[in-house]
């Protein structure tokens, strides 16, 4: 079995952004040379997420509005007593998830219809990374 590791780096222009990272993950799979296996894509920061869904702008807006209702920015979270101001971002990350695992078949992401991989940034405007770990043959 072979393994391959890559890092994707992000520094978003806004505090909250959803970024389609499917092309970067597909490129990592191509570079790995692995044809059959699994691909882990993992947000390496506690205020960012990786998830799979449809690449549709209305849905992305729905996510952002829904998350803001569940964990509004600016609320007096207990976490803020530590000197931080991003309690909402931690909660949003928990809701949207830390990582995804996708099968690799014939050297490609083995997705269902419309599926894409997204990086969700909830406390941006600074450098953060995503780990891509690929194992297989």
Mean pLDDT over the full length of the chain: 97
Would you say 117 and 40 are in contact if contact means Cβ atoms under 8 Å apart? Answer: no
Would you say 46 and 93 are in contact if contact means Cβ atoms under 8 Å apart? Answer: yes
Would you say 121 and 11 are in contact if contact means Cβ atoms under 8 Å apart? Answer: no
Would you say 6 and 93 are in contact if contact means Cβ atoms under 8 Å apart? Answer: no
Q: Given this model, what pLDDT does residue 56 score?
A: 97
| Residues 29-67: tens digit of each pLDDT | 999 999 999 999 999 999 999 999 999 999 999 999 999
CA separation, residue 49 to residues 21, 52, 82, 108, 132 (Å): 12, 10, 22, 22, 13
Instruction: Give all domains of the chain, ordered by start, each with its CATH number.
Output: 2-74+85-136 (2.60.120.460)
Give the pLDDT of the chain (137 residues) as one tens digit per residue: 999 999 999 999 999 999 999 999 999 999 999 999 999 999 999 999 999 999 999 999 999 999 999 999 999 999 999 999 999 999 999 999 999 999 999 999 999 999 999 999 999 999 999 999 999 99
Q: pTM for the whole thing?
A: 0.95
Give SS3 for 30. Answer: helix
Which pair of structure tokens corresponds to residue 84? Answer: 């931080």
């Amino acid at each position: 079995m072979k393994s391959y590791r890559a890092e994707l780096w992000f520094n978003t222009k806004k505090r909250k952004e959803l970024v389609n990272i499917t092309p970067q993950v597909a490129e990592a799979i191509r570079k790995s040379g692995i044809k059959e296996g699994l691909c882990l894509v993992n947000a390496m920061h506690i205020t960012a997420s990786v998830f799979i869904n449809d690449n549709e702008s209305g849905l992305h807006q729905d996510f952002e509005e829904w998350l803001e209702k569940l964990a509004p920015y600016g609320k007096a979270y207990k976490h803020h007593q530590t000197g931080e101001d991003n309690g909402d971002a931690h909660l949003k990350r928990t809701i949207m998830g830390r990582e995804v695992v996708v099968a690799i078949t014939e050297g490609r992401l083995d997705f269902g219809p419309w599926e894409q991989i997204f990086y969700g940034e909830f406390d941006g405007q600074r450098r953060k990374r995503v780990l891509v770990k690929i194992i297989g043959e």
